[in-house]
Each structure stands twice: as C-alpha cells, then as structure tokens.
Amino acid sequence: MGKKIMINPGLPQHNNLTYAPAVRKGNMLFISGQDAAETDPVTGRLTFSNDILEQTKIIYEKLRVILETAEAGFEDVVSTTDYITTTRNYKATADVRRQYFGESFPASTGVIVKGLLHAGALIEIDAVAVLD
Amino acid sequence: MGKKIMINPGLPQHNNLTYAPAVRKGNMLFISGQDAAETDPVTGRLTFSNDILEQTKIIYEKLRVILETAEAGFEDVVSTTDYITTTRNYKATADVRRQYFGESFPASTGVIVKGLLHAGALIEIDAVAVLD
Amino acid sequence: MGKKIMINPGLPQHNNLTYAPAVRKGNMLFISGQDAAETDPVTGRLTFSNDILEQTKIIYEKLRVILETAEAGFEDVVSTTDYITTTRNYKATADVRRQYFGESFPASTGVIVKGLLHAGALIEIDAVAVLD
C-alpha cells in the first residue's frame, strides 16, 4: 500500500498542529476539514468573510491546492462533508461546487453543527478522494 | 482503479443537485447522507414522518436501493454515521439495523446535531462500503 | 478484497449493540466513534470524567486496543473526526495526539455538536485506517 504520506501545501494555519492538511496512503486520500480562515498579514490573526458563499469559495481554493499538492484533482474526490453553522445563503454554494466539480460530483453530506473550532467560521468541509 | 462512477437510482429529490446519491471508484463506495424525505405526489413538496423510527425505516430502504443500484449490499457496508436532531425513540432504530444488517454490522458513529438541511428531518445517515 | 471482519476487543459497552467497534474489509479499517465511557464495576453504569483531556486519554487508549486487535497501529490511521460538546480545555488534547501519533499525524476534522449519545461525553472520536 505504500507508506502514509502527509500532504502539506504550506498553508500557514497548519503549522504546529497535530494533524496533516491531508494524508495519502495507497490510493486513498483523506483531506482534513478546511475552513475559510485567512491570516491577516499585519496582525497574524485569522480572519473570516461573514458570508458563507465567500467562505466556500476560499475553502474550494484550499481544496484545489491540497489536491494539486497530492497530485490529484476534483475528479478524484468521492465524498465531501459540509459542516455549517448557518443555512443563510447556503444554497448559493452549489455554484461553487459546479465550478470545481464540473459534472463529476462526489457523494456529499451536509449537517448543521453547533459550532466550528475557529470563531467566525460558517462552514468547514472535509473530503475523501480515491486516486488513480 | 477505474473511473469515478456516480450512482443514481433515480430518487426524485436528487435531481439538479450538486452531489451524487453515491459514488464508486475502484472498490470504494461512498453514499451521501440520506434523510427520510418523501415527495408529496400532489404538491411536489418534501414530507417527513414525525417519528425517528419511521424515518429510519425509510432511509434504510433508500440505502437498500442505492446499494442495489451499485451492485452492492448491506454486507459490504463498513461504516455508517447517524446525524440526529433528537434522541426521542432513537434506541428503537436498532431494530431497523438488525433487519438490514443481520449480524454483519458496520462501524458506526452517532451524533446529535443542531439541525439537518431539510426541515422535518430527524435523522440523516451516510455510509461507506467496500465492494468485493 | 476479503470478507468484512468485525473487530471487537471485548469492550463491555459494545455488547448487544448493532454496530461493531471496528470493521475491516480489504485493507480498510473503520473505527466507530469512541467516547470515554467507563463501566462502574459496582453499579454497571457508564461513568465519565468531567474533563475533555482526561476523556481524550481514555479514548486514545480504546483506539490503541482496537487498532492492536485489528493488527494495526496509529501509523496506519489516516483520518480522525473529533465530535466535541465543549471547547473548554480542548486545546490540551493536542498532547494526547502527539503521544499516540508521534509525528505521523492523520487528516482530522473537529466539530462542535449539540450532543453525544452518552450523557457525560464531552468528546467522541472516530477514525479510519489504511492497513499495509
């Protein structure tokens, strides 16, 4: 199966954490829940847009970079889970999914949780891919 | 590994969505979270029983149809996650699991969430299967 | 792929349930959500520490036993999900992860849920491993 390989595209918020942004072993790729945190270049603090659509766009860009680092693509993604804290404007995020997945959609589950770990996060998405 | 294949048994609520009811790639099958939504034949609106046991029965029938469409069965299911909004009568759903899984149970996790995407849903279940 | 194998290290709280503590099929191992329930030897009731760090230590010991029963180890774990009901002292659990994973971390997602199935549980963790 090959060894477990931690995939880290160098996102700043992943330093010093006890998980990897993604892990590959054999042809399975597991991607950690991504939120839309961006690091303020001056203060170093995490910042968030206050709109779930904007947050989703940022998350899908992070997923794109992680997949690329793992030499994979959205066509390999078989499952995503959306953990959301609000349904406000959530339906609009379907367009982001169409943009990145084309017509090759994954299985998906969406649930409304009580909270996410970073204050300000409205949505967090994890994913599983099966590589060729 | 073969290509990613979207599995769609033609459930009406899956039209025009940005996910597949299930996706197979290689021998991995990921099934999207299923709730007990039924489409009212007159109004076209989604309806739900107000009992978690009845909802669970409907969901397991959906899972059965999805697995059958994927040429798989409950004996291939290795994991389920129950996302519930109430614990009322939840213990009774064990009988549904016995009925469908026999004695070949999957690994399972159950959590109480703040809400599900369809108003009226008391339980949503996703699943992973490893095919022969 | 081999048959589906239920992995049961004989934890008392898993008797008569409709899921397996873990399931292996082929090289995939899915571990059910574990909480920190301990069975009081006198009353037979489930008891919990009221600190998330202590609960996490108990859960990782359960995961260790389950992995060992499956002839696997933490180096095979590719994904964990933490379902928590409080963020109080949650950061301290990183040390437990360092202790068990060394520097070979899995992908991970953490979400705050409304509740867990056993009253007193502050954290429940499920995991996926890819075996050699």
pLDDT band at B117 (very low <50, low <70, confident <90, very high): very high
Pairs of CB atoms within 8 A across A/B = 83
Identity of residue A24: R
Residue C4 with chain B: CB contacts under 8 Å: 75-76, 78, 104, 130
3 state SS for B59-93: HHHHHHHHHHHCCCCHHHEEEEEEEECCCCCHHHH
pLDDT at A10: 80
Q: Which of A97-111, C2-16, C36-50 holds the top average pLDDT?
A: A97-111
pLDDT at C7: 95
pLDDT at B17: 86
Residues of C with CB under 8 A from a CB of A: 27-28, 75-76, 78-81, 85, 87, 90, 94, 97-98, 101, 104-114, 128, 130-132
Specify the CATH number for the domain of residue C16. Answer: 3.30.1330.40
pLDDT at A12: 61
In tens, the pLDDT along B65-108 reads 999 999 999 999 999 999 999 999 999 999 999 999 998 999 99
A54-57 long-range Cβ contacts below 8 angstroms, 24+ apart: A55/A121, A55/A122, A55/A123, A56/A93, A56/A96, A56/A123, A56/A125, A57/A96
pLDDT at C38 over 60: yes
In tens, the pLDDT along A11-34 reads 665 667 899 999 999 999 999 999
pLDDT at C11: 66
In this prediction, residues C73-89 reach a mean pLDDT of: 98
In tens, the pLDDT along B32-69 reads 999 999 988 899 899 999 999 999 999 999 999 999 99
pLDDT at A73: 97
Domains held by chain B: number: 1
The neighbouring-strand residues paired with A23 are: A6, A30
Nearest chain A residue to C28 by CA distance is A28
Residues of A with CB under 8 A from a CB of C: 1, 4, 6, 17-26, 28, 30-33, 81, 83, 113-117, 124, 126, 128
State the chains in contact with C (3 or more Cβ–Cβ pairs under 8 Å): A, B
In this prediction, residues A103-120 reach a mean pLDDT of: 96
pLDDT at C24 over 80: yes
pLDDT at B14: 60
pLDDT at C17 over 90: no
pLDDT at B95: 96
pLDDT at B1: 65
ipTM given for this complex = 0.95
pLDDT at A1: 65
Containing domain of residue C78, as a range?
A: 5-130
pLDDT at B103: 87
C33 CB burial (10 A radius; 0-12, 13-18, 19+): buried
- Mean pLDDT, all residues of chain C: 94
Residue B119, both tokens = 């108003």
Nearest chain B residue to A114 by CA distance is B114
Please tell me the pTM assigned to this model. 0.96
pLDDT at A13: 57
pLDDT at B25: 98
In this prediction, residues C13-26 reach a mean pLDDT of: 86
Q: Which of C13, C17, C32 is CA-nearest to residue B95?
A: C17
In tens, the pLDDT along C100-130 reads 999 899 999 999 999 999 999 999 999 999 9
Q: Please identify which residue in the block is written with the tokens 């739900």.
A: B48
Query: Of the candidates B4, B81, B114, which has its C-beta nearest A75's C-beta?
Result: B4
In this prediction, residues C32-54 reach a mean pLDDT of: 94
How close does chain B come to A62, measured CA to CA in Å? 19
Q: A77-84 and A107-112: which strand pairing?
A: parallel
Whether residue B19 and residue A78 make contact (CB cut-off 8 A), yes or no, is no
pLDDT at C1 over 90: no
Q: Give the least confident one: A2-11, A85-94, C78-87.
A: A2-11
pLDDT at A36 over 80: yes
